[in-house]
Structure 1
Amino acid sequence: MSYLATTDDLFFNRTDLDQKRLEGIINGALKGADDGELYLEYRQSEGMVFDDGRLKNASFDTTQGFGLRAISGESAGYAHASDLSEAAIIRAVNTVQAVHAGHEGTMALSPLGTNRALYTDDNPLSSTAFETKIKLLSDIDSYARSKDPRVIQVSASLSGEWQAVQILRSEGHRVADIRPLVRLNISVTVADGDKMESGSYGGGGRFVYDSLLDPSYWQNGTDEAIRRALVNLNAIPAPAGEMQVILGPGWPGILLHEAVGHGLEGDFNRKKTSTFSDRIGERVASPGVTVVDDGTLVDRRGSISVDDEGTPSQCTPLIEDGILVGYMQDRQNARLMGQNPTGNGRRQSYAHLPMPRMTNTVMYNGAHDPAEMLKAVKNGIYAVNFGGGQVDITSGKFVFSCTEAYQVRDGIIGQAVKGATLIGNGPDVMQKISMIGNDMEMDEGVGTCGKNGQGVPVGVGQPSLLINGITVGGTA
């Protein structure tokens, strides 16, 4: 069954909506506008938390609704409702038409489809029995407690969703997508005397639960959570000052995502509020640094076959060999900037306007062996994992907390440190990269990006990086 056929069943066969009548309503709603669409969404989601040896919480939710948008120049009219009925959509038409009243725009061409699917359309919520999911969480709890007597608390959670969308434009143009998403989180607390520390592991992607149910997967994940907790148990206060920093591969790419990626989204650059505005063709990073946003990676958490405007995802070059070459665009900002949409128009749900957002933001491999990087460090830290952070898009300034980091002295990894924060400026740090590793990894599949109150799943990836001169905030 095609995505259109599946979503037709959800949005038309089970409601009072008639496709042909709806096409006429959309044509009337968008007459004179520059762009716009009707976005239909149906979503099932579930979550289970197993904590302190018992099932603490289990939830299941079904939501559906529509969002209607009309664009006139830089303005957008938007109306949404959870009521999938013709009457509700007509009320929405009366609202959004106000934004282009008296405007005689030329409707933007609809995106060309690729008929490409990057993930299964199976529903993870129905493909695995509830009892099997609970047993997985219980097994994780038992396994973690059996691994080390210092484990005093275990929390494991499982979540999944199945989202079906259909995007309708003028002249009967329709695009559909079906998106599964699953995630497993494991957190452990260890104690030694009066000292307690926690460690966590998470993973997932756009597939069903089968991969997460594999014992080799969840046991490795549990082992990693315990290892991280024990590392922190023996950590010493982090040093402070400007020093060399090695970023590990994979999840440390979240610094790239926040400190650089957001500044390359089209809306910030159109409004000239980004530190990267009007800098296409300029050097913004060290030679060898190549960064892309790639929504086409199979099964990845941040991947989308089409974005939430119906544009197929793509691999978008952002920085090539240190030179800024492009921005991530939705349809509105691309049109206003005289550029092409890049498949980055994303929204949290039918209740939200789309805007330029990242998918999987990746720095490509370099030529250096990570061991070579270590030898080059006289006094610094090796940052393996990160927690939260804050970024100012206009200035590029960032602050990130390290959840796992180590001292490095004369090329040798030393004791673990805790309380380390990295403080710097994204564009400045990108030009201080002196070595790029050959060990690029993607994150385990846990990223959620926030922007303007909306959260969407994303991915990050990078090789190990040696950066000469980041301010490290510590407690020593």
Structure 2
Amino acid sequence: MDTQLEEFADYAIKYADDAKVQYCDIRSEEQERVSILIENGETEHVRTINDSGIGIRLVKDGTWSFCSITNPESKEQVRKAIDSSIKNSMHYAKNKKESFSLYPNKSIQKKIDYHTEQKPNLEELIKIGTICNKIISDTPKIIKSIVNPWYTNNSKYFANSEGSKISQNFSDVVIDMVAIAHESGLTQSVNITEGGRGGIEQITKGDKAQNSAQEIAKKASKLLSAKPAKEEKATVVMNPDFVSLLTHEILGHPSEADRVLGKEMAWAGGAWWKGKIGEKIGSEHLNVFDDPTIEESLGWYLFDDEGVQTKKTTLVEEGVLKNHMQNRETGKIFNEEPTGNMRATNYRFMPLIRMACTCIENGDWDVDEMIKEVKNGYLISNMKIPSIDMKRYNWSISCQYAQKIENGEVTDLLRDVIVMGTAPEFFQSIDACGNDFTVRPITNCGKGDPMQSMIMGNGGPSIRGVATVKSVN
């Protein structure tokens, strides 16, 4: 990181402290983002975006205020921003009724360089993207192949008025791919995202990107002759990719304490299980956790944007709701330790409570055995589009494809399938979790007003439960 950014951060802390604020923290950040878009063998664009700046968060007279500066050039600029923020806090404090307090946190001085096997570079990214695009394009009935590989190099420096100074440096590498097939007036598309925190190996190890490109192309082509599903309530076996989105939407979001308190309702709503800590909300087979320490996932980090050290947090244990994701402020309200889930998209935004890597825990079932016990049901594969109510109670999620299960055998391929249910009824119906635990990358989670888009991991094993299944066409 540019040493001047760190100097501005340290100066801002001292200046705010001299101004008698109750609390102040600073995030200095630099990011390089390189992205390539390849469509049907043609490179549409190669883009490099560099961004740097500082975000300043402080409390004066019991009221939060936030400001950010892109590419700060002088200490005077920093002083003016802090003075303005202090004035804002004092103005809004006149009508504030609630008292302010933060859960205690240790003062930390640390520098972390996250593991990277092969540093990302443009040439390798173009090579992989071109290979994947050709794999998709060469598949029969494919009319469009879209491949978007990208990487970011990130440096973050956190400092606060309690003495913490934390540097974190990491890279993320991701490839988004779409295969679109068309025949006789019918169009079908299948997409996939691969990648994680680390280097180029996140998409090349085990030929991950190429294998996924081949899989989505074949599946999009086969879906042209697939049948629609009739509407029925039935047993469903969901694969880990679909489970990752289901976990994200109806377990992760309502576990964010600001939503539980009704303080952050924009974009993803509240939580139907408000006030239900210690109550049974699912079957004994349902165990849920959030874990920012899972290496190489897009939600891997060791300190959050409040300087809180991360750890695995149990959210649901054998169907019983145990905890929410907490920041230092909600932790004080719930009398629970902060969980290390306070994050912002970048220095321009005030951090919010966000999932890191929320997952359903694996079981010991072999997936084939889970399927063999189903007389009439569906194998649901790969996430598509969610539709969830404001309390995360009623949900419907479309899948990329499904297959009928008849007398323990996987039979017909089905297209345009949506799975629906209510959170408590579905959670209670879960009777088996597989041994095929997988973490999937999520790159576009929205929350907040103004909206912040965040990357993270979500995952789990194959799970079996009961839900309503139908095709949209």
SS in 1 for 2:296: coil
Match of 1:390 in 2: 387
Match of 1:93 among 82, 85, 95: 82
Structure 1's 73 and 414: CA in aligned 2 closer, same or farther, altered over 3 A?
A: farther
Deviates more, 1:287-296 or 1:390-399: 390-399
Compute the displacement of 1:380 (Å): 2.2
The 5 A counterparts of 1:175-186 are 175-186=166-177
TM-score calculated relative to the size of structure 2: 0.88
Tell me what 2:42 maps to.
54
**Aligned positions, number:** 458
Picking from 15, 27, 32, the partner of 2:17 is 27
* Matched residue type, 2:15: I
- 1:137 to 2:129 alignment: yes
Structure 2 partner of 1:4: none
CA–CA separation in structure 2 for the residues paired with 1:10 and 1:245: 56
- The whole-number CA distance in structure 2 between the counterparts of 1:74 and 1:243 is 53
**Offset at 1:283?**
0.7
Deviation at 1:44, TM superposition (A): 0.9
Q: How many angstroms apart in 2 are the aligned matches of 1:199 and 1:73?
A: 53
Report the residue type matching 1:467 in the other structure.
G
Q: What do the CA deviations read for 1:59-94 (whole angstroms, capped 9, x no partner)? A: 111111121112469842111121423223222212
- AA aligned to 2:445 is C
8 Å contact from structure 2 (residues 101, 332) kept in 1: no
Q: CA deviation at 1:236?
A: 0.9
1:242-321 equivalences under 5 Å are 242-271=233-262, 273-321=270-318
CA distance in 2, matches of 1:151, 1:215: 25
Q: Give the 3 Å change call, closer, same or farther, for CA 276–106 of structure 1 in structure 2.
A: closer
Q: In the alignment, which residue of structure 2 is the partner of 1:63?
A: 51
Secondary structure of residue in 1 paired with 2:436: coil
1:302-341 matches, cutoff 5 A = 302-341=299-338
The one of 452, 456, 460 aligned to 1:458: 456
Contact 1:123/1:180 (CA < 8 Å) preserved in 2? Answer: no
- Please tell me the root mean square deviation across aligned C-alpha atoms, in Å: 2.7
The aligned residue for residue 190 of structure 2 is 199
- Aligned pair partner of 2:29 in 37, 41, 53: 41
> Structure 1, residues 412-462: CA drift from partner, whole Å, max 9, x if none?
21211122112222233111112222222222x344321121111111111
- CA displacement 1:79-127 (0-9 Å, x = unmatched): 1121423223222212322455479977764445495858337995xx5
Partner of 2:278: helix, strand, or coil?
coil
Q: 2: distance between equivalents of 1:99 and 1:284? A: 42
Instruction: Go from structure 1 to structure 2 and tell me whether the alpha carbon gap of 1:105 and 1:379 turns closer, same or farther (over 3 Å shift).
Output: closer
List gaps (5 residues or longer) in structure 1: 1-6
2:429 equivalent among 420, 428, 432: 432
After TM superposition, give the deviation of residue 383 of structure 1 in Å.
0.6
Identify which of 323, 337, 349 aligns with 2:346.
349
- Give the percent of matched residue pairs that are identical in Structure 1 and Structure 2: 23
> Is the partner of 2:149 in helix, strand or coil?
strand
| Residues in 2 aligned to 1:108 and 1:211: alpha-carbon distance in whole angstroms | 36
Deviation track 1:335-362 (CA, whole Å, cap 9, x = no partner) reads 2332211100011111111111101111
CA distance in 2, matches of 1:105, 1:441: 40
Counterpart of 2:457, as a letter, is G
Q: Distance in 1 between matches of 2:160 and 2:61?
A: 18
Partner of 1:3: none
CA shift, 1:271, in A, is 3.3
Aligned to 2:266: none
Q: Can you list the C-alpha shifts for 1:231-288, whole angstroms capped at 9, x where unaligned?
A: 3222111211322211112442210110121111111223384212111111111012
* Structure-2 separation of matches of 1:455 and 1:449: 5
Which amino acid is the alignment partner of residue 290 of structure 1?
N
- The secondary structure found in structure 2 opposite 1:367 is coil
Match of 1:458, SS? strand
Question: How many Å separate the matches in 2 of 1:257 and 1:378?
Answer: 29
For residues 74 and 182 of structure 1, what CA distance do their matches in structure 2 show? 41
Residues 13, 25 of structure 2: 8 Å contact kept = no
Structure 2, gaps ≥5 residues long: 264-269
C-alpha contact (below 8 Å) 2:394/2:423 kept by paired residues: yes
* TM-score, reference length from structure 1: 0.88
Aligned: 1:379 with 2:371: no
Query: Quick one: structure 1 residues 265 and 83, their matched pair in 2 at CA, closer, same or farther if it must change by over 3 Å?
Result: same
Q: Is the 8 A contact 1:137 1:157 kept in 2?
A: yes
* Aligned partners of 2:150 and 2:174 also within 8 Å: yes
SS in 2 for 1:212: helix
Change (3 A) 1:386 1:143: closer
What amino acid sits opposite 1:120 in the alignment?
H
The alpha carbon displacement at 1:363 in A equals 1.2
Distance in 1 (CA, whole Å) between partners of 2:59 and 2:205 is: 47
**What amino acid does structure 2 have at the position aligned with 1:132?**
E
Q: Is the 8 A contact 1:263 1:393 kept in 2?
A: no
Letter matched to residue 67 of structure 2: A
